[in-house]
Amino acid sequence: MLSRYELALEALERRGRLRALSGRGGLDFTSNDYLGLADSAELKDAITQALARGVPVGAGGSRLLRGNHPEHEMLEAEAATFFGAESALYFGSGFAANAALIATLPQRGDLLLYDELVHASTRDGLAGTRATHRAFIHNDVMDIEDALRAFRADNAQARCFVAVESLYSMDGDLAPLGDIAALAARYDATLLIDEAHATGVLGPQGRGLSALLEGAPHVITLHTCGKALGVSGGLLLMPDLLRRFMINRCKPFIYATAPSPLIASAVRTALRLCAGADDRRAALQARIAQLAGHLAHLGLPSTGTAIQPVILGADRRATAMSDALAKDGFDVRAIRPPTVPEGSARLRITLSSRLDALEVDALGAALARHMQDVAA
C-alpha cells in the first residue's frame, strides 16, 4: 500500500530534490529573522511577564467558542493602529491567513489575478476559491491592466482582486505597488498585499511597503509575525466589514483552535519593538550594501533587499554550493523547483541585523572560492 509513496520519494532523490529536516548549524544566512528579534532578551522578558500575569499558553478552543482571549483582541486593536488599518484579524500562521483570505473573500463570478511568483499559500487558497483566477506576468502592470479591462468589459458589477507580494520571498525584488494600487483603484479592484518579508524591514517604523496605502477601502494586507517580528502568526489588516465577513465565513478561522494567547502577547511586544527598531533596520541596510559589493565583484546582481538569490540553474549545483558553504561554517540553503521555476535553482541568502561586517565579508570570500569550484 505504501509503495507509491516510496516510488515518489525515490523519484525525488534521483532528481536531487528529496527534502529532509536538518538541525541548525553554521552562521545564519538562511532564516527570516531580519531584525534579530526571535532570540532577543526583550521577547523572552515579554513571555516571562505575560506568564506572571496569568496569560495562558493555550486557547482551549476556537475564537468563536471559548478560545477568544483579551490578548487576541488587544493585539488586533494595536496592530490596526500601528499599521493604519480599520481592523485586524489574527491567525496562527501567515500561511494559514493568506490561504484563508484567498479561499474565502473572492466569490463565484469574481476575478482574482495573482502574480506568477506568489507564495505557495496563495496557491493553496486558489484551490478553495470559487472565483475565476489566473496568473499575470511577474510585476507586469500592463498584463494586469489587460486582464482587468477584458474582464470589466463583460462583468461591470463583479468584484476583482489582485494578489501580490510586496517583497518576493525567493527573488528578493519589490512589487511596483504604487502603480498596481493606482490600477486597482481605476478598475474598482481590491488589492491583496502579502507583506510577509517586508513587515518590520521596509516602510516607516517597519510598517511595510504598503504603509501609505494601508487603510484604503480597496486594500487588504497580510503582515506575518514569524519573520522580522520574531514570533509567530499572521495578521490580516482590512476594513471592519470584511473582518466580520471572515469571522462568519472563513473555515480556517471558524474551526481552528485559536492561536496561543501567550504568543499573541509576545506579538504585541514585537510590534512595539518594531516601531523603535530604526537602529536594527540601519544595521540591516549596512549588511545589504556590504553583500552587494561582494556580489558585484563576482559579476552578480544585487536585489538591494535582505533576500539575495544567487541563481545557479541546475539543482545539484545549488545543493553542492550549499554543502560547500556549510563545510565553511555558513548556513545558506539551496532552493530548488517546484519552489522556484525549473532551471532556476539557487542559493537564497538572507541577511539580519545580528550579522556583523566580518561575518558578511567571510561569506563573500567563501562565495568567491566556491563559485569556480562547483561545476555548472
Residues 291 and 271 in one domain: no
Q: Has 119 been annotated as catalytic?
A: yes
Q: What are phi and psi of 224, to 5 degrees?
A: -80, 155
Grid cell listed for 350: 538572507
The answer to whether residue 7 is domain-embedded is no
The enclosing domain of 305 has a CATH number of 3.90.1150.10
Query: Residue 98 catalytic?
Result: no
- Is the residue at 336 inside a domain? yes
Query: Which structural domain, as residue segments, surrounds residue 332?
Result: 17-35+277-373
- Residue 237 and residue 301 in one domain: no
Residues pairing with 135 in the sheet: 114
| Cβ atoms of residues 284 and 360 within 8 Å | no
Task: Look at the chain and report how many structural domains it folds into.
Answer: 2
pTM to 2 decimals? 0.94
169 assigned to active site = yes
Same domain, 115 and 54: yes
Residues 307 and 359 in one domain: yes
User: Same structural domain for residues 103 and 212?
Assistant: yes
252 with 354, same domain? Answer: no
pLDDT confidence of residue 22: 83
Question: Angle at CA 29, nearest 5°, toward 24 and 34?
Answer: 105
Note whether residue 1 is domain-resident.
Answer: no
* pLDDT at residue 196 in the model: 97
**Quick one: 82 and 198 in the same domain?**
yes
Q: What is the 3-state secondary structure (H, E, C) of 334-352?
A: EECCCCCCCCCEEEEEECC
Q: Which of 28, 40, 87, 119 is catalytic?
A: 119
- Which of these, 341, 342, 322, lies nearest to 330 by C-alpha position? 322
Given 33, 71, 194, 214, which residue is catalytic?
194
Alpha-carbon separation of residue 241 from 105, 191, 251, 272, 284 (angstroms): 12, 16, 17, 27, 37
What is the C-alpha end-to-end distance of the chain, expressed in Å? 40
Q: Catalytic site residue 297?
A: no
Residue 371 — very low, low, confident or very high, per pLDDT cuts 50/70/90?
A: confident
Of 320, 323, 329, the closest CA to residue 358 belongs to 329
Catalytic residue among 223, 227, 294, 370: 227
The string of pLDDT tens digits covering residues 320-361 is: 999 999 999 999 999 999 999 999 999 999 999 999 999 999
Per-residue confidence (pLDDT) for residue 123, from 0 to 100? 92
52 and 196, same domain (yes or no): yes
Whether residue 195 is contained in a domain is answered as yes
Tens of pLDDT, residues 282-312: 999 999 999 999 999 999 999 999 999 999 9
Give catalytic status of residue 155 as yes or no. Answer: no
- Amino acid identity of residue 195, one-letter, is E
* CATH number (domain holding residue 134): 3.40.640.10
CA–CA gap between residue 251 and residue 110 (Å, rounded): 20
Q: Same domain, yes or no, for 67 and 24?
A: no
The total of other beta-carbon atoms located within 10 Å of residue 66's CB is 11
